[in-house]
Amino acid sequence: ERVKEVHPRACRCGPFGQPAVHLQDLPDAHAYEDREGASDNTTTLTVQMIKDHAFSRRSTSMVAASISSIAQSAADDSWWRQVEEIVVEHQRVRRIQNLEKLTSLRRASFVDNELTRLEGLDFCTALEELSVEDNRIMAIEGLSHCTGLKKLELGKNKISHLENLGALTSLTQLSVEDNEIESLAGLGELLCLMELYIGNNRLRRLREILVIRDLPKLIIVDLLGNPLCREEDYRLYTIYHLKKLKVLDGTGIEASEQSAARNKYAGRLSLETLESKVGHRHFESLRELDISGLRVRDAANCFQSPEFSGLQEINLDNNIVSDVQGFAHLPNLSVLRLGANRIGEGCRFDVNPYNSASPFAALQVLQLGQNSIASIERLGLSKLAALRSLFLQGNDITRIDGLEGLYSLQELVLDRNRIKYVDAGALDPVQNLRELRMEENGLRSLSNLGNLPHLQALHLGYNRISDTSEIERITGLKALLEITLMNNPVVRKQVYRAVLLGKLPMLRIIDGRDVTEEERDYVQSMYYANSAMMDGTAAPGLVLSGAYGAQSQSQQQQQQKVPVKMTAVNFEQLAGSAAGGGRSVGNSGGPMARGSGRAVGGIGGKTRQMQQQQ
């Protein structure tokens, strides 16, 4: 027997929204709705229809009272204010209207009608539950005044976008099954949402789950019938990202599933996470990427796509990364920040699993501070030929080694480690070094730091260097312009700065303080005087008074050097005459310096006394 009549609502749709029965294959069938479409008397929501389907209490209650009987006995319109519920189902209503006076309406159901849009609800501000399932609605609209709505059922319509839901701040349950929805965008503002039913739609991408992951109260989600459910890791992925979820697709979530989800996805950087972080998926335009503080553990599989080839800087500070092989092949990566991660002895920079010609070929800045690194050599840095700055502060390094191959290195930071001594030749591979920092290490000697011809800044504060003689070990640093030795015992020496300037005359900054011309002149004068005493000559009348004072250059030029031959000298008479004036002492200083130790001591004491007096 041939099919004569088909009701389209009885035709169930397939998983992608296509009809299970094609009407063109049934030539003798007549559409049920087309045959009855000429009837107009049931397409308008009239006042009488409202009276017939309105209730003063919930319709399922045993004591529900029909408004129709109340309205018949009432002489005025007071019955409108008593309506709390209206149920108009299977009436082929095409438009919602005449509800302006239902200010107390709390529940409304218009299931299985012919509605094409949501309207007429602007005055129903007390509405808490609305069901318009099985209609022809194409867009979510007309609900901006229903701010108290808690339950919204929109299943079996033609909705393609979840929009205009921002005003529904009290919504706890949303049902939109059997529609044409392709994205969950628009649900992120429903902070009170507890139940979401969105099965049999067109959701294809797993990353759509990220849209609703921050909803704090979401405990029930149904996604069955969407293409994304066929993804291999769909369930674990959803469980991991929806932390408070209790039921997924009608099945309770077990503790073992939550554990498996954490093991698989915790700390794993994904393309979905990147898209959420940068706000788009056009990764080929990325030049800088900041993914610090995200608890990232594994990023190996995230940057394999050619679209990341333009990436120049990655900030992964404050994560839990323990391996860097996932970044080795990036051809333009010049800055890699991995501070406060877990880069230990098992991590190497000379291994490239993707067989590129050279790992980290363009890397110029590498930040590895606070990673509990104990050995530089075991990091395998020898292939980083382009590296210019290496930061290793705050680790457990005890030796400087493993710098071979770093020919371009200009900045090396080793603050807050455990380096007590620099081995001979340890810094020979980095002859182009411009700045070296080794503060807070417990360093006791400046040995083996003097063979860096291009070094301009040396920062060694907060160590244990105690003797000014150590400065002699770095006199080979002819290009040195700045040095920091603050908070070392040596800085308590009275002539500390003078010795530094005398040994390293090119210095411009000492301990963060500029070297003044007055200070430089004083040191030159002092060293000139000392040199004269050692040579047997002295500048008559030269007075070294004050911290950095000296006579003017014109005065020094007017004075003449007078050699004094050592013959019979009465030391007591000389000491007595010295009390009367400083010139005789100045004139006698040179030869007496070549005398006996006792004589030199006496003259030295008098010289200091005269300096203080002057």
What's 284-330 look like in SS3?
Answer: HHCCEEECCCCCCCECCCCCCCHHHCCCCEEECCCCCCCCCHHHCCC
Distance CA 361, CA 383 (A): 8
What is the pLDDT averaged over residues 518-539? Answer: 69
Q: Which residues contact 576 (CB under 8 A, 6 or more apart)?
A: none
Phi-psi region of 475 (alpha: psi -120 to 50; beta: other; left: phi over 0): alpha
Statement: residue 456 has pLDDT above 60: yes
More confident residue, 454 or 74: 454
Residues 94/119, Cβ–Cβ less than 8 Å? no
Which of 53-57, 66-70, 404-408, 528-532 has the lowest average pLDDT?
A: 66-70
More confident residue, 589 or 269: 269
Which of 196-200, 299-303, 453-457, 565-569 has the lowest average pLDDT?
A: 565-569
Give the rounded percent of residues in the chain with a pLDDT score beyond 90. Answer: 59
Statement: residue 531 has pLDDT above 90: no
Burial class of residue 27 in the structure, from the number of CB atoms within 10 Å of its CB (0-12 exposed, 13-18 middle, 19+ buried): exposed
What is the pLDDT averaged over residues 181-209? Answer: 95
Structure tokens at 403: 């710098």
Statement: residue 553 has pLDDT above 50: no
> Which amino acid makes up residue 120?
G
What is the pLDDT averaged over residues 471-482? Answer: 96
What is the pLDDT averaged over residues 527-533? Answer: 65
Structure tokens at 493: 């020496």
Statement: residue 25 has pLDDT above 70: no
Per-residue pLDDT band for 495 (boundaries 50, 70, 90) equals confident
Residue 26, pLDDT score: 52
Residue 482, SS3 per DSSP: strand
Per-residue pLDDT band for 509 (boundaries 50, 70, 90) equals very high
pTM for this predicted structure: 0.63
Residue 355, pLDDT score: 62
Statement: residue 545 has pLDDT above 60: no
What is the pLDDT averaged over residues 248-275? Answer: 90
Q: What torsion do the CA atoms of 5, 9, 14, 16 make, to the nearest 10 degrees?
A: 130
Q: Which residues contact 443 (CB under 8 A, 6 or more apart)?
A: 419, 420, 421, 422, 460, 463, 464, 465
More confident residue, 487 or 263: 487
Q: What is the mean pLDDT of the chain?
A: 81
Winning range, highest mean pLDDT, from 71-75, 404-408, 603-607: 404-408
For residue range 199-253, list pLDDT tens digits in order: 999 999 998 998 999 999 999 999 999 999 999 889 999 999 999 999 999 999 9
Distance CA 164, CA 151 (A): 15
What is the pLDDT averaged over residues 101-121? Answer: 92
Alpha helices (H) along 399-516: 496-503
